[in-house]
Amino acid sequence: MNKKNIWLTVAGVLVLFAGACYAQFELDSYLRRVINLCLIYAIIGLSMNLTNGFAGQFSLGQAGFMAVGAYVVGIFTVPVELRENVFYAVPMNPLIADIQLPLWLALIVGGLLSALVAFLIGTPVLRLRGDYLAIATLGFSEIIRIIITNAQSFTNGALGIKDIPTINDVRYIFLATAVVFIFITCLVNSSYGRAFKAIREDEIAAEAMGISLFHHKNMAFMLSAFFAGIGGGLYATLLGTVDPKNFLFTLTYNFLLIIVLGGMGSITGSMLGSIIVTAGLEFLRVFDEPLELFGMAIPLFRPGLRMVVFSLLLMICVLFWRKGIMGTEEFTWDKFVAFCKNPEKYFMRKGAKKNG
């Protein structure tokens, strides 16, 4: 990346941060919550794309790693004086009852613990491939949730943890997302990222070139879990409470949808997919509410129509963008300038490149 693109990137981040500041002070709490949820889902989508898109390993354990990060933040950020009211059924374990951490440290601890769990899981599981790996990681995700449900003195069991200090500040969550975005971008463009892509394309050829399959697969899996844990911790601070039912295996499918829609192997695609999926599901709620037109009730507008409309829109996207909106490409300033100068010529060149 040349100096011009670096300065343009810095300027772009500053403009986006200014937009985050505007959103924080000018928008209502509902819109701020939607924006924050988009940013948090972008972090988790990026983490999942690191394993599935760049390393080519079909993992479905993101909900479990989110749960680990969320519960670490929930356990260690609730004020000590309020914990007796939270753990009223079973007293909190004395080993952690008096430990309170600042949010930033709890997020890092949650990410590291998620990475440790990923290492323990990945050591035997990453020897599998394809659907078998997906089933195994999905199973371990459920195991994590069941352990959380039964470790009552640590996690409060099925009752969950409430009174978590909430943060609905767009600026802080934007900065966390920007740091994750920059780190993963640098990682993907490094020698490790090229090794991940080589494994994705052909494991046998990558191993023949001297790439350690187990080492790089495990690294991608652990980094993915680390960022998923941080995303889960931010998710807990946004909700103000955590519960085992928040992390059912169906949650993982939302992030799979994000990376497939945005583009497997595209960082900017994951960001775009998180905005489309998260904001789309929220703003289409109008279809779930009764509608009257000229004094007559429209029978189609009832609970459940939102998901029908959203599914139809997704089907249209898949038909037109079979590899996702971005595919494996990334946003670059050179492409942006070329598009601004001559959009028709840009699309013709892109179509010619795709066809031939």
DSSP assignments along 289-306, one per residue: S--EETTEE-TT-STTHH
CB-CB contact of 327 with 259 (8 Å):
no
What are the Cα distances from residue 228, in Å, to 86, 93, 113, 195, 306?
Answer: 25, 26, 11, 22, 28
- What mean pLDDT comes out for the span 59-74? 92
Lowest mean pLDDT among 21-30, 70-79, 293-302, 315-324: 293-302
- CA dist., res. 118 & res. 48, Å (int): 13
What is the chain's mean pLDDT, rounded? 85
Q: Which pLDDT score is estimated for 344?
A: 61
- CA dist., res. 90 & res. 164, Å (int): 18
What are the Cα distances from residue 237, in Å, to 170, 219, 233?
Answer: 12, 27, 6
- What mean pLDDT comes out for the span 237-258? 88
Q: Which pLDDT score is estimated for 235?
A: 94
- Of 261, 170, 187, give the one whose Cα is nearest residue 226: 187
Q: Which pLDDT score is estimated for 126?
A: 86
The model's pLDDT over 95-117, given as tens digits with 9 standing for 90+, comes to: 888 889 999 999 999 999 999 99
Task: Tell whether the model's pLDDT for residue 355 goes beyond 50.
Answer: no
DSSP assignments along 83-109, one per residue: HHHHS-SSPPPTTTTT----HHHHHHH
- CA dist., res. 269 & res. 304, Å (int): 28
Which runs of consecutive H residues, i.e. helices, occur in 240-342? 250-262, 267-283, 305-320, 333-341
Sorted by where each begins, the domain ranges of the chain are: 28-266, 327-356
- CA dist., res. 124 & res. 114, Å (int): 16
* 45-233-235-274 Cα dihedral, nearest 10 degrees: -10
CB-CB contact of 231 with 69 (8 Å):
yes
